[in-house]
Structures are given as structure tokens and as C-alpha cells.
Amino acid sequence: MAETKRICTFLLRLIAFGTTLSAAIIMASSRERTTVLTLSFEAKYSDAPAFKYFVIANAIVSIYGFLLLFLPSESLLWRLVVALDVVFTMLLTSSISAALAIAYVGKKGNPNAGWLPICDQVTKYCNQVKGALVVGFISVIIYMLLLLYSIHRVLNPLLVEKS
Amino acid sequence: MAETKRICTFLLRLIAFGTTLSAAIIMASSRERTTVLTLSFEAKYSDAPAFKYFVIANAIVSIYGFLLLFLPSESLLWRLVVALDVVFTMLLTSSISAALAIAYVGKKGNPNAGWLPICDQVTKYCNQVKGALVVGFISVIIYMLLLLYSIHRVLNPLLVEKS
């Protein structure tokens, strides 16, 4: 039973590593050259600070996730991992929220502020950003599950001892 | 010593409740009527979905924070609070990141997307949003501290038992 749980956690961490890495790569490779009237311009992820932040955050978390895959299961460092998971899950949550807010303005615009939607001009770019956000969202969900599972595992024995 | 820690935690939770409530109220009351050329318009928080999300998230977390103030310290529910803290801290982090991303575009604009900054027209509105974001940021820091402290408190005894 303990072995099954360990394999499950390892698989979840492997998927989490894969999704954060993919999200960073998909977002970083999103670019499209387009011509509006006579003006040619290129849309790329570094145009928006929020998208840059998304790439950096996902890259950092994927390095962290990669290192964790090699941490032996009997290591005492796993206790520290709960606290690190909190910090890195927050980083992911924050980066995806910021990117989502900007992507929403790109898609729908904001008539009150006079910001026009740009997705009609750069459809391919928008779809790639959308893909990156979906993959990023999956990684946030997985980290959230891992975190709640760690907390449950740590707290439950105490509850059993006490009652 | 345990008593001092309990008072500290209670004070932190009281401040966290105060800051989330203030952030929601400051953001929700941000509005300014201005006239550009012959066009009169009102800027208010509900113009941006990200700001609405910020108000709702802070309101929810302040209700949660308020209820916690009345939870007796010997209650077993405190074990559940660690998991709830994770969820609500994520909600706060996510809402402040989204609002910050939009506020940044409002302040600096985004020349690549053709979005103009609006803060020159509605300075008072922008300052109020900035105030709400600063107060919201303080509440995120406090919740993060409370969370890391809870994890430290739960994990440390185990480490002592084991070594």
C-alpha cells in the first residue's frame, strides 16, 4: 500500500514536471508575424511582462520538479519539500493568474479602457498562448493535489494518535 | 511560551482579516468620473473582470478570517485549517496577481498590443487601485507566514521524534 502511494506520488511529480516544462516551452515559442494594413509586426510572448513571468515561473518550477525526481524516498529533505511545495505552488498560481488576466484582455479587449482585442489579428499566437495556459493550469492542479495530500498525510496520523 | 505563540498567531489572523477586508473595500469603492474631450465616463472597479475577482476573493477570505477568530484554540478543526489556509492563500495570490497584471497595463499600457495607459486620465482611481493592491499584498504575506508557520509546527515535532 505504501509502495503504491509512493509510485502514485512519483508519477504525479513526473507529470507535474512534464506539464510545467511544456507550459514554459509552448509559451516561449509562441510568436506570429502578421501584417495589418501596410504595417508588419511580430507578436511574441515577451511583448507582455505577464507572459515573461509565466515562462520564468514555469521554468523555475520545472527545475525544482526535475530535482525532486532524484530525491531518495527515505531522505529527511522530504519534510522541507512540503514547505517548498507551498512556495512553488504559489509561484505557479500567481504566474498563471497574471497570464490569464492579460490573455483575457487580448481575447475580449476592455471597452471601458479602450483596449481592443488582438486575437483576430494573431489567431495562431493566441491559440498557442491558450495552449500554454491550459497546460499550466493542469500543473497547478497537480501541485495543489500533491500539497493537500502531503498535508493530509502529515496531519492524519496525529489525529489518529489524539482521538 | 505556547501562550505567547497563540497570541501572536491570533494577532496575525486579526491583521490578516483587517487587511483582506480593507483591500476589498478600497478596491470596491474605487471610482472616478472624468471628461476626455467632450466624452464623460466613469472608471470603476467593475470595469475590469480581474478587479471584480480581486474584490470577491478578498471578501471570501475575510469572511473565512473572521470566522477563524472565534474558533476555540483547543478545537480539532485547527487541523483542517492548515488545508483551508492553503486553498484560501492560493485564492488570494491568484486574485492579486491577476489584478496586478491588469493594473500594470493600466499604468504603463502595452505598446505592442496598442493598449494605451489610462492612469493619466483617472489618477485618483489608479491611486486607489494601487492602495488596494498594496493592502492585498500585505494580506498575502501574512497568510503565507501563517501557512509556513503551521507547516513548521506540524513537521518539527515529527522530526524531533524521529531523530
Q: Where are the domains of chain B?
A: 2-30+44-162
- pLDDT score of B149 more than 80: yes
Q: If you search the block for the grid coordinates 524516498, which residue do you land on?
A: A73
Mean pLDDT of all residues in B2-30? 91
Mean pLDDT of all residues in A103-124? 89
The model's confidence at residue B159, banded by pLDDT at 50, 70 and 90, is low
Best of A105, A118, A156 to substitute, by most chain B Cβ atoms within 10 angstroms, is A105
A94 contacts A57 by C-beta, under 8 angstroms: yes
ipTM: 0.87
Backbone angles phi, psi at B23, to 5 degrees: -60, -45
B45 contacts B28 by C-beta, under 8 angstroms: yes
A105 contacts B115 by C-beta, under 8 angstroms: yes
Mean of pLDDT over chain A:
87
Mean pLDDT of all residues in A67-96? 88
Nearest to B105 among A82, A105, A162 (CB): A105
The model's confidence at residue B148, banded by pLDDT at 50, 70 and 90, is confident
- pLDDT score of A62 more than 50: yes
Please write down the HEC assignment for all residues of A38-94. Answer: CEEEEEEHHHCHHHHHHHHHHHHHHHHHHHHCCCCCCCCCHHHHHHHHHHHHHHHHH
The model's confidence at residue B43, banded by pLDDT at 50, 70 and 90, is confident
* Beta strands B31-36 and A39-44, pairing class: unpaired
Bridge partners, residue B34, by sequence: B41
Reference B53, options A97, A106, A134, A114; nearest CA is A97
Confidence at residue B162, expressed as pLDDT on a 0 to 100 scale? 42
0.90 exceeded by the pTM?
no
Chain B residues near residue A159 by CB distance under 8 angstroms: 76, 79
Mean of pLDDT over chain B:
87
Could you tell me which chain B residue has the CA closest to the CA of A45? B112
Could you tell me which chain B residue has the CA closest to the CA of A101? B98
pLDDT in tens, A12-29: 999 999 999 999 999 999
Q: With 0-12 CB in 10 A as exposed, 13-18 as middle and 19+ as buried, what is A1?
A: exposed
